[in-house]
Structure 1
Amino acid sequence: MPETNLLLVDDLRENLVALEALVRGSGRRVFSARGGEEALSLMLEHPFALAIVDVQMPSMDGFELAELMRGTERTRHIPIVFVTAAGRELNYAFRGYETGAVDFLYKPLDPVAVRSKVDVFVDLYRQRQELLRMQEQLERAVKMRDDFLSMVSHELRNPLNALYLQAQLRQRMAAKGQPPDLAAFQKMVSRDEHQIRSMIRLLDDLLDISRARTGRLAMSPSEMDLALAARRAVEAVHDQARTAGVQISVEAPAAMGFVGDEFRLEQVVLNLLTNALRYGRGQPVAVRLRTEGREALLSVRDQGPGVPAAEQERIFQQFERGSTGGQVAGLGLGLFISRQIVEAHGGRLELRSDPGDGAEFTLRLPLPAAGA
């Protein structure tokens, strides 16, 4: 938890030193001011849980300072406790409460009373800050929910609209009694399958995100060929790459033995390739598989705008997408799920990128021990 700031205002240094000795404590930061102008300057720079202000000061007394504080949005909510050496018969307390004070302390100060009052205001301030933090988290969660529902609706609407239009077209053909053109019919079926696969993948991502958050992302490790899995992932995006005019190169050994969940690791490479096609601006994409020590390194590199340093960790979070690609499809789940899968294999998913120089995502997977 951040430190709680306290402000002491008195024109006499010895009074400030004595008061600071009473109010300092763990998690507290004490600021001192020798006059009203200095106090206002500090209040404009820092948030304060409490201001303890001496009433009788030259040039600007405590009451004048309190009135100025109440006139500014940033300072009006700071609780003020006045300190005075004047007797109670002068009725300073009435004027103090009129200017917004919450309490009065009379000199000579009672150390126990001072500490207890400060403790109360510090606790109230921390509780208020915690409530504000919880409110911000709630508002962010509501916004994430709304954004998520909007994205899901958008991602489902496109393939559903395409399927609906295809169905309408076939219905009109049937109503006219037209014999189906075999080539055109096969093309329609192929488009239908593509849209259905898109929706299935979207639903699978939603299920995966739920499983990952509860630690139930299923893995079925077995002996597999990592090189073959990489080539199959490239083959899966072949049509998408050809349509976009993107060339995908593969540099890999003929085979690389591994023990892992073949389907899940292929899913990771597919996610990375899909992102490279989305963000790569039509430039070539390179897939490379090699070994380094006792690790297998499988990288996917694009030649797009790259990922700014400030975003390189954020894009691995749920529902987050890069800001350099404009309006792109997807829910922002692929990288989050991919990292969960790789870590479940005891590996790491790393990103190396400089703005304007593309992005390279690398899976680092531990190879099985010799003879295992």
Structure 2
Amino acid sequence: MENTKILLLDDREENLISLKAILNRDDIEIYATTSPNEALRMVWESDIAVALVDVQMPGMDGFEFAETLFSNPKTREILIVFVTAISKETTYAVRGLKTGAIDYLYKPLDPYITNAKVDSLIKLARSQREIRDKNKLLENYATIVLNSPDIIATVEPDTGSILSINPSVEAILGISPQSLIKTSVLDLLVDPLNSALREVLVKRSFVGGETIVVEDQFYGRLRQPVWLELRIMYKNRLLFVNLHDVEKRKAHELALIDAQAQAEKARKTKESFLANMSHEIRTPLNGIIGLGNLLAATELSEAQAELVDMLRQSSGSLLNILNDILDISKIDEGKFSIIPTSTDLRVLGKQIIDLMQFKADEKKLELRLEIGKDIPDCVTVDGMRLNQILLNLVGNALKFTGTGNVTLKMEHLAQTAAGHTIRFAVEDTGIGMSDDHLANIFSEYGQASENISHQYGGTGLGLTISQKLVRLMGSELEVNSRFQEGSQFFFTLILQDANEKSGDAKPVVSFQNLPPFEGKKVLVAEDNPINALLLKKYLKAWQLNAVIVGNGKEAVEQLREEPFDLIIMDTRMPEMDGFQAARMAREELHVKTPILSLSATVLPEEVAQALEAGMNDTLSKPFEPEKLHQKIDLLLSTLAPANVSQR
């Protein structure tokens, strides 16, 4: 605690020395002087609490000194004790008290009496200062409350009655503070029966002493609802409530909620559009690819085989465009995963060159593969997506190169504890791009210019999907290009050595040469006649007895009549779709026969919907006959033996 400052004023130096000796204590800081003028300077500059003043002094006596202190607000609260050797007559005592003094000490001073009186004066001075400081603090609080932009109120906790409230209530709610005294704060609420404040009052959750924060709607000007945030604190059997206007924040939150709802609606609309688009395009595309497979399995002349090959290439290009659109959508929605596997980069590079060689030959371009000697035999990377990226880049380079060459490069830059740093690049001697065109080269559905799009064709999706895939792999697809001098697209990946080398790719087998299933009975529900024809051809080639129906309703009726070893069902059909038919087969007919969903939609939501409806597996259109054969083999070998013909 801070020492108490005491002033000693006496015109005789020996008296000051005597007083100092008596008051020699650690809790006192003494200011002593023989001059009244000097004493006035001391009390003005220092925070003196107690003054021991001699009465009889030349120039200015003790009474005059005391009157001077009492007349100034800054020194009025100093506790004055007169020290005198004159008579104890009442006249002197009364005069001294009138000047502001509170007591007398008589010479010669008794040390015990002097210290006892000083002790009591120090306690009194400290109490007065504490009261003064608290009063100032209360004045400050009152100023803060009166001028606060928030509503500040004291509330009776049992009844909710308002005991005091500051003027801000008029600015925020349009109600005068005086009219609210003794009224219930619940009366100001829009919905008092369902309010958070009422719950706090009823449950008395404020008793724990912690500040409670809730939000409620109050009636404002013209009975318009206003959202307020209430900070409630319980102390001294009262509730102290701070009400802050959060109407703008609430409006912003509601706007965000509405925006989220609109975004969700747009997402579902987009999802529905993609599902419908996928179905409407994939269904005839499956027919085109399937018919190409059927034609390829017949005896063809060289010219016919060339036409069939062109048909399959064109349908494959269309399928790639469709897959790119769906992949972009899945990446944007965070539903796309990179799955690292063991990959031989040399094999991958050779497969890309072999696949794209025919395009290079058509344009009489040299297609080259350059793989650095330090490239490891096998690394861990999503080989399918890396293949997709490099195919897009090589295809793009071939499209925009008229003469010269296209080169796929894989270069080993470094090896660290993190793995092998490998740079992938595709270089061409094509038309190149200007700096203006480079800025938008990776934007969705964008190309360098409309003239280029018209002359060379394409959607501009290849580079977009490639950039997105490269970013998912933790890198960035970059480009260097000069107009009419060619382009270089490149990115760098850090890849770990794989534990085992990837197996060689299996050769493509004609659907006619796939193993038979010895006359198993299959129910096929497919509304598209071309796809139904394709399925019938495939199943017949595999010695499966197929019953073809046109919708889910007919499939359910057929299941009521006879058992099957396998059900292949399209999901989108008229009258009754595949989901409804599968659910009815499981729940009403208690059919346990394995069901393969055959859908032209590849969205994860529809796959999940198929499994939820009771289907065992899914296959998306367009499909390769070999993939369908694998699915049938899996379902018949794992599910059918124990469940054949069971209902």
Structure number with greater Rg is 2
